[in-house]
């Protein structure tokens, strides 16, 4: 197991080329505690009595790498002391990690009276991961290193149609993006695509997508034209995973994607909750008003019809950048529309809080237009809506903005790799 930022054990995807299950979303806190004592980095597994020399070597190698990864810059002596491993053992594992390209020795610390210690750090670009967010009218792509830093990003206006020509165009563009990285393809972990739709537990089929009208589409449609191994993930799940990665203190929270289409994901004990049909947290189709506007799902009055960016644009009869300029300049009509939007969002949030009394992470397209006064007004509306006096909760603003889904998709592959060491 790995000692890196938390992802949830959620679904398992399969690499069709080797039939190996890829556990994408990490391990629970309980599992991590069983495998190691986090604060002390002990050399003893707490749930295993006997280990073979090969097993022990693998465990210690992983512990050495994990320590270097977390420390970012360290020395051989520091590793030895922190992990309670002998210097010869640390030296052997460092040699293996350097030979594999995962760790580098560069520079020396100032002498404290004896021999200068070498500086040891992880090679962040030993492997890269590609994440894609596939939208109705656009595709966004990003390349991340092993720390989740963005190395390159791009976007392409491309209208989604469930036809061979679309997948061919997407594949050609993706392959070109990868080629421009000028990086060995063997060291690229793959391409993970976030989809506006639910994905089956084996990662092979889009099981529900009324936005893109691609229910039943198979992973192989994408893989046929993308040269690297290709995987699928639900977009709001990917976005929530990006928030967990960026905020190590997140335990329980609800992620709200204020995108052109509304979305949500529940984070429970640092896991993304899925439910039996992998649709847990899909709150966009909760009903706010049974006589409300017709949703793309066929029902009336869904949260989607009141709290999505598309619904706001429809009410405003103008593009949203212009709308928010008018809101913030005091236009009465636009302010009335905006307050009505926030009131419906507050109702949705209060309904969620009655089930799960969590803090909320606000992300997606609309966040770029929202000021602190807008957040304060939303907070006020939620408190007014709540049946209990002075509810205590907090809004966090996404650190990844409108790029959470593609970043989260790439981080899935990063996390899987780190756990495989």
The residue with tokens 């309670």 is: 84
How far apart are the C-alpha atoms of 127 and 144, rounded to whole Å?
A: 9
For range 341-351, the mean pLDDT: 95
Residue 133: CA count within 13 A, CB half-sphere:
25
Give residue-wise pLDDT tens across range 3-20: 333 233 233 332 333 333
- Stated as kind and residue range, the H or E segment containing 140 is strand 138-144
Query: What is the reported pLDDT for 14?
Result: 29
With cut-offs at 50, 70 and 90, classify the pLDDT of residue 109: confident
Q: Are residues 143 and 107 in the same domain?
A: no
Q: Is residue 314 part of a domain?
A: yes
Q: Are residues 365 and 259 in the same domain?
A: yes
- Taking only the tens place, the pLDDT of each residue in 302-335 is 999 999 999 999 999 999 999 999 999 999 999 9
Is 16 inside a domain boundary?
no
Q: What is the pLDDT of residue 415?
A: 93
Q: Are residues 236 and 259 in the same domain?
A: no
Enter the tokens of residue 217: 């589409």
Q: Is residue 231 located within the same domain as residue 263?
A: no
Strand partners, 262: 258
The tens digit of pLDDT for each residue in 155-186 reads 999 999 999 999 999 999 999 999 999 999 99
Decide: 369 and 319 in contact? Cβ < 8 Å: no
Q: Strands 271-272 and 359-363, how do they pair?
A: unpaired
Reported confidence tier of residue 49, pLDDT bands at 50, 70, 90: low
pLDDT of residue 117: 82
Listed in sequence order, the residues at least 6 apart from 276 whose beta carbon sits closer than 8 Å to its beta carbon are none
Tell me: pLDDT of 28 over 60.
no
Closest CA to 93 of 45, 66, 41, 57: 57
What percentage of the chain carries pLDDT values higher than 90? 70
Domain that holds residue 200: 128-240+404-416
Residue 32 clears pLDDT 90, i.e. is over it: no
Q: Which backbone phi and psi does 150 adopt, to 5 degrees?
A: -80, 120
Identify whether 384 is part of a domain.
yes
Check pLDDT > 90 for residue 368.
yes
| Predicted pLDDT of residue 48 | 47
Residue ending a domain, choose from 92, 123, 154: 123
Residues 291 and 379 in one domain: yes
Euclidean distance between the first and final Cα of the chain, in Å?
9
Amino acid 40: pLDDT: 38
- Same domain flag for 182 and 281: no
The answer on 200 and 259 residing in a single domain is: no
C-alpha span between 4 and 246 (Å, rounded):
12
pLDDT of 348 over the 70 cut: yes
Q: Do 287 and 350 share a domain, yes or no? A: yes
Residue 210 lies in a domain: yes
Distance CA 1, CA 30 (A): 11
In CATH, what number is assigned to the domain containing residue 132? 3.30.420.40
Asked if residue 10 is part of any domain, the answer here is no
Q: How confident is the model at residue 354 (pLDDT cuts 50, 70, 90)?
A: confident
Report the share of the chain in percent with pLDDT over 70: 86
In terms of DSSP H, where are the helices of 4-52?
29-35
pLDDT band at residue 280, thresholds of 50, 70 and 90? low
CA angle 158, 13, 177 (to 5 degrees): 35
- Domain total of the chain: 3
- Is 230 found in the same domain as 118? no
In this prediction, residue 184 carries a pLDDT of 95
Domain co-membership, 134 together with 119: no
From 351, 337, 279, 272, select the one nearest 309 (Cα to Cα). 337
Nearest Cα neighbor of 56 from 177, 48, 120 is: 48
Q: Is the pLDDT of residue 112 over 70?
A: no
Q: Which residues contact 145 (CB under 8 A, 6 or more apart)?
A: 124, 125, 127, 128, 151
Strand extents, DSSP E, 158-306 = 188-195, 198-199, 206-208, 230-234, 253-258, 262-268, 271-272
CATH number at residue 50: 1.10.10.10
DSSP 42: -
Question: Based on the domain organization, do 273 and 390 belong to the same domain?
Answer: yes
Quote the Cα angle for 126-171-402, to 5°.
70
Q: Which residue has the higher pLDDT, 62 or 35?
A: 62
Any domain includes 213: yes
The reported pLDDT for the residue numbered 399 is 85
Q: Is residue 111 part of a domain?
A: yes
In the listed set 91, 123, 155, which residue is the last one of a domain according to the structure? 123
Same domain, 389 and 274: yes
Whether residue 231 is predicted with pLDDT greater than 90 in this model: the reply is yes
- Asked if residue 14 belongs to a domain, the reply is no
Q: Mean pLDDT score of the chain, rounded to an integer?
A: 86
Instruction: Collect all residues with Cβ–Cβ distance below 8 Å to 394 and sequence separation of at least 6.
Output: 359, 360
Q: Please determine, for residue 27, whether its predicted confidence score (pLDDT) is greater than 80.
A: no
Number of Cβ within a 10 Å radius of residue 375: 15
Whole-angstrom Cα distance, residue 205 to residue 16? 13
């Amino acid at each position: 197991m790995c000692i890196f930022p938390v992802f949830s054990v959620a679904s398992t995807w399969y690499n069709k080329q080797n039939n190996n299950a890829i556990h994408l979303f990490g391990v629970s806190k309980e599992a991590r505690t069983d495998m190691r004592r986090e604060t002390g980095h002990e050399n003893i597994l707490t749930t295993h009595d006997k280990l073979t020399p090969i097993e022990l070597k693998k465990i210690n190698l992983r512990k050495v790498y994990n320590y270097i990864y977390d420390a970012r810059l360290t020395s051989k002596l520091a590793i030895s002391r922190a992990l309670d491993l002998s210097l010869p053992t640390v030296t052997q594992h460092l040699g293996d990690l350097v030979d594999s390209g995962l760790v580098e020795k560069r520079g020396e610390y100032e002498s404290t009276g004896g021999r200068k210690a070498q500086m040891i750090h992880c090679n962040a670009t030993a492997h890269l991961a590609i994440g894609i967010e596939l939208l109705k009218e656009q595709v966004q792509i990003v390349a991340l290193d092993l720390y989740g830093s963005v190395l390159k990003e791009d976007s392409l206006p491309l209208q989604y149609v469930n036809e061979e020509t679309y997948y061919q165009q997407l594949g050609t563009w993706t392959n070109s993006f990868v080629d421009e990285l000028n990086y060995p393809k063997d060291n690229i972990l793959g391409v993970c695509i976030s989809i506006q739709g639910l994905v089956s537990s084996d990662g092979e089929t889009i099981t529900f997508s009324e936005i893109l009208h691609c229910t039943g589409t198979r992973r192989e449609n994408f893989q046929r034209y993308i040269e690297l191994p290709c995987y699928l993930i639900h977009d709001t799940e990917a976005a929530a995973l990006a928030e967990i990665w960026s905020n190590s203190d997140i335990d329980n929270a609800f992620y709200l994607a204020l995108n052109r289409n509304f979305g949500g994901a529940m984070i429970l004990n640092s896991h993304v909750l899925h439910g039996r049909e992998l649709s847990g947290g899909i709150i966009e189709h909760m009903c706010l008003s049974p006589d409300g506007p017709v949703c793309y799902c066929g029902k009336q009055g869904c949260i989607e019809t009141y709290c999505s960016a598309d619904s706001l644009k429809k009410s405003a009869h103008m593009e949203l950048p212009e709308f928010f300029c008018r809101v913030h300049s005091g236009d009465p009509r636009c302010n009335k529309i905006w307050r009505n939007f926030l009131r419906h969002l507050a109702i949705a949030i209060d309904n969620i809080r009655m089930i799960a009394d969590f803090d909320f992470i606000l992300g997606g397209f609309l966040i770029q237009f929202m000021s602190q006064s807008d957040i304060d007004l939303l907070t006020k509306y939620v408190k007014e809506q709540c049946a209990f006096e002075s509810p205590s909760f907090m809004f966090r603003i996404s650190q990844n903005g409108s790029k959470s889904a593609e970043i989260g998709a790439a981080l899935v592959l990063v996390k899987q790799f780190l756990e495989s060491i």
